[in-house]
Amino acid sequence: MNKREFDYILQNGESYLVEFKERVNSSLSREMTAFANASGGRIFIGVTDSGKARGIEITNKLRSRIQDMANNCQPPVPVDLKKYHNILIIDILEGKDKPYQCSEGFFIRMGSNAQKMDRDRIVEFLQAEGKVRFEEQVHKKFSFEKDYSPAKLAGYLKLAGITQNLDDPSILANLGVAEKTGDSLKMKNAGVLFFTESIQLLCEQATITCAVFDGTERVHVLNRKDYSQDIITNINNALHFVK
């Protein structure tokens, strides 16, 4: 963690992968279980909800308290405690023993919040966890040298109102669409859909075909367009075709 990356995280605020807490309190347990039940994430202790870094006194007692809260979840939530100056960062990986429960119940990360799961939601969760989410899978054939488009990332950041003040690998990792393994960076399917020039060879099922037929029978084609760029461009092109 360096200053540029830290400032970038503060600028973009809380998200599916980031939570700010000014101090440690009883709600920390539900935040940890929510991240473990979802795709993992980081909790920054010493940062206000509005993204202002106030800092906190990082002591062994504080570390032990957080570790005890993680261990008291069922099953225990694995956490890695790091610090950046006077900010304590709790790094939580996606859990391997879902679902995780704290004393207040079962929680899952939804957007930038921890949402409590009712009975029906827990049943749906358990059923869904039998599947590997497509967007979270690493695309084995993706090559950053051949397939990655920095211009697509720049366009996305502009559309989202995010300042591009970090290197591309750090931004992709913080967006959760790529994962760092040592010195290498691997793109997930979500990143492939958004940040490649052409998805046709990488995710053929994500292309869009639009057609106009003569009459109500799908026999005589008057006009047809195939869109195989990134997902944002494909959607915009499809909407333009319909208009």
**pLDDT digits 0-9 by tens, 102-113:** 999 999 999 899
| CA nearest neighbour of 47 among 17, 6, 75 | 6
The region, left, alpha or beta by phi > 0 then psi within -120 to 50, assigned to residue 143 is: beta
User: Can you tell me the mean pLDDT for 158-169?
Assistant: 89
DSSP letter (8 states) at residue 99? P
Domains and CATH numbers, the chain: 3-131 (3.30.950.30), 136-243 (no CATH)
Note the pLDDT of residue 132.
Answer: 58
- Give the DSSP letter string of 39-94: T-EEEEETB-TTS-B------HHHHHHHHHHHHTSBSPPPEEEEEETTEEEEEEPP
Is 174's pLDDT higher than 70? yes
Residue 131 scores a pLDDT above 60:
no
SS3 at position 161: coil
Exposed / middle / buried, residue 68 (Cβ in 10 Å: 0-12, 13-18, 19+): exposed
